[in-house]
């Protein structure tokens, strides 16, 4: 299983959990499987064609997947996947 | 018991220690050689003027401090004083410590000055400052030189809110000489849960005034410049160009892209932090030194309403204290040129999990502003940029060519 880090704005889909377990050989598969468990999360992360939204950053371990193979970036069992959204708050 | 007079001692040292004159020193300082020039005069002499590029260790502290400055015994050192006598004695002491490549500058600072070579009159800390900043200056990474650098530095805070508050207070306490604050807002009671630079008595007053008063009460060394205006594409370059380092504590995406682009265009270092509920992010963008920028990490803004603001989602009051303080630390490191800046790395803090971690931020070679072929070469309309879907050509407010947002 792969640990997926869920940021605050998406935790309402994961019953408030900041970390969930998921499975899938690629980021795309992983998110697809997460959707089955946590309905609604996929459309917050992906475009209709399955590509990650441009304003959402997904990291496999320390690397952002745009610098790897995008949604097709392979995910191994012990990898940690982090969803990191842009946050504007400062005030 | 045999003895020598001081004249005899000096004469003996002149035979033993290699001397160079001002011309030779100037030549060696201009060459590629890694020469350390140590001035061993007393502080009052040093404060009257010094050879540009020299470092000051009074002779009484020479043996105690030189190792931190020059760790390798074979590194070349030139010792100088006022006239070239004390430097002989100091050079002898260095040789006794095992330094093998030491010369004394004949004629000293006076000879240098008379030969017409450049010298500078260094600022020195006054007595109050020496006491106030003693916990800084005692650390070799800062020292008196570093403290003077801080006093001579300028930092611009975008926003005197949650992040700007702790940053303003710590930078002021640290003695950053000029702090600019851009904020058009007035203090509201709901700000006081986290915006610690403001007080209850400041409610309804402009935030820049309130912050300036707090800073003035803390440290009279700091000059505060209030920019009580909204940062826009029209004033951003003018305001930001007046500062060395920018700290971003704004609360909206258009301002974040605006500040980023302006800093890239001006080659300014930007310390960027953001907060939401119990989570914070902080990083450094320094594109002039090859680091990525905000757009490399976040190429497109989220559609309006997609990401809730702190006003909608809330924020733990202490959280900006952590993130804003990290921003202040990074700004100070950038000013002093010490440590490893948080560039190319995004530091994430989750207060609920009590967890810090970091991910990498890679430079995007196709970045529209800091990439190899930039398409954003001047500031655009950022409200528009943040209100439209990507890959749609937009006209940019009559300010130039259309760009792909």
Q: Which of B276, B361, B367 to mutate to test binding with chain A, by most A CBs within 10 Å of its CB?
A: B276
To the nearest 10 degrees (0 to 180), the angle between helices B86-96 and B62-69 is: 70
Residues of B in contact with A86 (CB under 8 A): 253, 274, 297-298, 301-302, 307
* pLDDT(B132) > 90: yes
CA A14 to chain centroid:
12
For B222, the 3-state DSSP assignment is coil
Say which CATH architecture domain B153-404 belongs to: 3-Layer(aba) Sandwich (3.40)
Q: What is residue A25's DSSP assignment?
A: S
Whether A91 and B276 lie within 8 Å, measured CB to CB: no
Structure-token pair, residue B275: 């907060």
Q: Is B119 on the interface with A (CB under 8 A)?
A: no
Q: How many CB atoms lie within 10 A of CB A5?
A: 21
Assigned fold of A2-85: Ubiquitin-like (UB roll) (3.10.20)
Provide the pLDDT for residue B399: 35
Q: What does the pLDDT average to over A58-69? A: 95
d(CA A45, CA B350): 20
Q: Is B59 on the interface with A (CB under 8 A)?
A: no
Residues of B in contact with A67 (CB under 8 A): 362
Say which CATH architecture domain B6-120 belongs to: 3-Layer(aba) Sandwich (3.40)
Question: Rounded to a whole number, what is the distance in Å from the CA of A15 to chain B's nearest CA?
Answer: 15
pLDDT band, residue B400 (cuts 50/70/90): very low
Q: What does the pLDDT average to over B22-27? A: 95
Is residue B371 within 8 Å of residue B292, measured between CB atoms? no
For B393, residues 6+ apart whose C-beta sits below 8 A from its C-beta are B402, B403, B404
Residues of B in contact with A7 (CB under 8 A): 279
For chain A, report the end-to-end CA distance as a whole number of angstroms: 38
Tell me the count of A-B CB pairs closer than 8 A.
Answer: 103
What does the DSSP assignment read for B239-272? HHTT-SEEEE--SSHHHHHHHHHHHHHHT-EEEE
Q: Of B307, B350, B359, which is closest to A86 when you measure between CB atoms? A: B307
| CA dist B238 → B44, B193, B232, B243, B295 (Å) | 40, 33, 10, 10, 21
Q: Is B312 on the interface with A (CB under 8 A)?
A: no
Tens digit of pLDDT for each residue in B332-380? 999 999 999 999 999 999 999 999 999 999 999 999 999 999 999 999 9
- Chain B residue nearest residue A87, CA to CA: B274
pLDDT band, residue B402 (cuts 50/70/90): very low
Tens digit of pLDDT for each residue in A16-57? 999 999 999 999 999 999 999 999 999 999 998 889 998 899
d(CA B356, CA B350): 7
Tens digit of pLDDT for each residue in B186-219? 999 999 999 999 999 999 999 999 999 999 999 9
Provide the pLDDT for residue B250: 94
Residue ranges of chain B assigned to CATH 3.40.250.10:
6-120
Residue ranges of chain B assigned to CATH 3.40.50.720:
153-404
d(CA B240, CA B256): 13
Structure-token pair, residue A57: 């950053």
Provide the pLDDT for residue B405: 26
Provide the pLDDT for residue A9: 86
**Using CB atoms and an 8 Å cut-off, which of residues 20-79 of chain A contact chain B?**
53-55, 57, 59, 62-64, 66-67
Residue with tokens 């009257």: B48
Question: Rounded to a whole number, what is the distance in Å from the CA of B152 to chain A's nearest CA?
Answer: 27
Indicate the average pLDDT of chain B: 92
Complex ipTM value? 0.94
Burial B299-330 (b: 16+ CB within 10 A, else e): bbbbeeeebbbbeeeebbeebbbbbbbbbbbb
Whether A57 and B352 lie within 8 Å, measured CB to CB: no
Provide the pLDDT for residue B123: 75
Q: Of A82, A86, A90, which is closest to B298 when you measure between CB atoms? A: A86
Is residue B43 within 8 Å of residue B61, measured between CB atoms? no
Identify the helix (H) or strand (E) that includes residue B313: helix B310-313
Q: Is A8 on the interface with B (CB under 8 A)?
A: yes
Tens digit of pLDDT for each residue in B270-286? 999 999 999 999 999 99
Residue with tokens 């603001």: B309
Provide the pLDDT for residue A50: 86
Q: Of A7, A57, A89, which is closest to B275 when you measure between CB atoms? A: A89
Residue with tokens 């100088």: B80
Provide the pLDDT for residue B336: 97
Q: What does the pLDDT average to over B226-231? A: 97
For B180, residues 6+ apart whose C-beta sits below 8 A from its C-beta are B154, B155, B156, B157, B224, B225, B226, B227, B239, B242, B243
pLDDT band, residue B396 (cuts 50/70/90): very low
Torsions phi, psi for B307 (to 5 deg): -110, 120
pLDDT band, residue B395 (cuts 50/70/90): very low
Tens digit of pLDDT for each residue in B47-97? 888 998 899 999 999 999 999 899 999 999 999 999 999 999 999 999 999
Provide the pLDDT for residue B290: 95
Q: How many CB atoms lie within 10 A of CB B53?
A: 13
| CA dist B180 → B133, B245, B287, B294, B341 (Å) | 21, 10, 22, 22, 22
Q: With CA atoms as reference, report the closest residue to B405 among B232, B261, B263.
A: B261
* pLDDT(A91) > 90: no
pTM: predicted TM-score of the whole model, two decimal places: 0.78
Provide the pLDDT for residue A42: 95
- The rounded radius of gyration (Å) of the Cα atoms in chain B is 26
């Amino acid at each position: 299983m792969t640990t997926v880090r869920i940021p605050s704005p998406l935790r309402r889909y994961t019953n408030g959990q900041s970390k969930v377990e998921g499975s899938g050989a690629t980021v795309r598969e992983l998110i697809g499987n997460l959707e089955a468990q946590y309905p609604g999360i996929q459309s917050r992360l992906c475009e209709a064609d399955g590509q990650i939204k441009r304003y959402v950053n997904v990291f496999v371990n320390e690397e952002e997947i745009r610098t790897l193979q995008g949604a097709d970036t392979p995910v191994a069992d012990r990898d940690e996947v982090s969803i990191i959204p842009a946050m504007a708050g400062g005030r | 018991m045999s003895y020598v007079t001081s004249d005899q001692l000096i004469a003996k040292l002149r035979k033993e220690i290699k001397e160079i004159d001002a011309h030779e020193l100037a030549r060696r300082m201009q060459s590629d050689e890694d020469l350390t020039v140590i001035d061993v005069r007393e502080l009052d002499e040093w404060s009257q003027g010094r050879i540009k590029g020299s470092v000051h260790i009074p002779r009484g502290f020479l043996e105690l401090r030189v190792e931190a400055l020059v760790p390798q015994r074979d590194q070349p050192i030139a010792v100088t004083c006022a006239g070239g006598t004390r430097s002989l004695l100091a050079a002898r002491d260095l040789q006794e410590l095992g330094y093998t490549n030491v010369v004394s500058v004949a004629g000293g600072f006076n000879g240098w000055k008379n030969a017409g070579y450049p010298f500078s009159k260094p600022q020195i800390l006054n007595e109050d400052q020496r006491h106030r900043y003693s916990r800084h200056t005692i650390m070799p990474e800062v020292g008196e030189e570093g403290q003077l650098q801080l006093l001579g530095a300028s930092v611009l805070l975008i926003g005197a809110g949650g992040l700007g508050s702790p940053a303003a207070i710590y930078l002021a306490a640290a003695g950053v000489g000029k702090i600019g604050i851009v904020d058009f807002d007035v203090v509201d009671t709901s700000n006081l849960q986290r915006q610690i630079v403001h007080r209850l008595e400041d409610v309804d007053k402009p935030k820049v005034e309130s912050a300036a008063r707090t800073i003035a009460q803390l440290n009279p060394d700091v000059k505060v410049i209030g920019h009580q205006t909204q940062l826009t594409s029209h004033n951003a370059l003018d305001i930001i160009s007046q500062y060395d380092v920018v700290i971003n504590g704004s609360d909206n995406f258009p301002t974040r892209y605006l500040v980023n682009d302006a800093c890239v265009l001006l080659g300014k270092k930007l310390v960027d932090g953001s907060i939401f509920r119990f989570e914070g992010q902080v990083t450094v963008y320094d594109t002039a030194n090859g680091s990525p920028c905000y757009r490399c990490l976040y190429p497109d803004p989220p559609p309006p309403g997609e990401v809730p603001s702190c006003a909608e989602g809330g924020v733990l009051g202490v959280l900006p204290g952590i993130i804003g303080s990290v921003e202040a630390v990074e700004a100070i490191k950038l000013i002093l040129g010490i440590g490893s800046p948080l560039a190319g790395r995004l530091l994430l803090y989750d207060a609920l999990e009590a967890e810090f971690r970091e991910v990498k931020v890679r430079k995007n070679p196709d970045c529209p502003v800091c990439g190899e072929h930039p398409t954003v070469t001047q500031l655009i309309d950022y409200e528009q940029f943040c209100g439209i879907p990507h890959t749609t050509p937009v006209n940019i407010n009559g300010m130039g060519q259309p760009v792909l947002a």
